[in-house]
Amino acid sequence: MGAIQDVCYVFTECFGLDTRIANYKGKRPLGLYQWDYECLMAGLDYIVNNERGGEGKSQKELKLLQKLLERINLAYKNAYD
């Protein structure tokens, strides 16, 4: 199983998240449930910290994904801790 399939497996727990993100127009805040945050964090963590997850990504892309992961972690902690 390739890296993309591995990451897709992580996101299967967030029913409808991909659709909400695809339909997002930026006009109002994107509503995320607690499990959406957890799913995003798990998927991004896999990409950033797993040797296979980052295959085909440049260092710049991985740094941007790491920053996004940090921002999502902070938002999660502020909302649920």
Q: pLDDT tens digit string along 31-77?
A: 888 888 888 898 888 888 887 767 777 888 888 889 999 999 999 99
Q: Note the pLDDT of residue 71.
A: 94
The Cα-based distances of 74 to 38, 41, 67, 68, 77 in angstroms read 12, 11, 11, 10, 5
Tell me which residue range forms the domain holding 14.
Answer: 3-80
Domains of the chain: total? 1
Question: Which pTM does this prediction carry?
Answer: 0.72
Pick from 50, 40, 48: nearest CA to 73 = 40
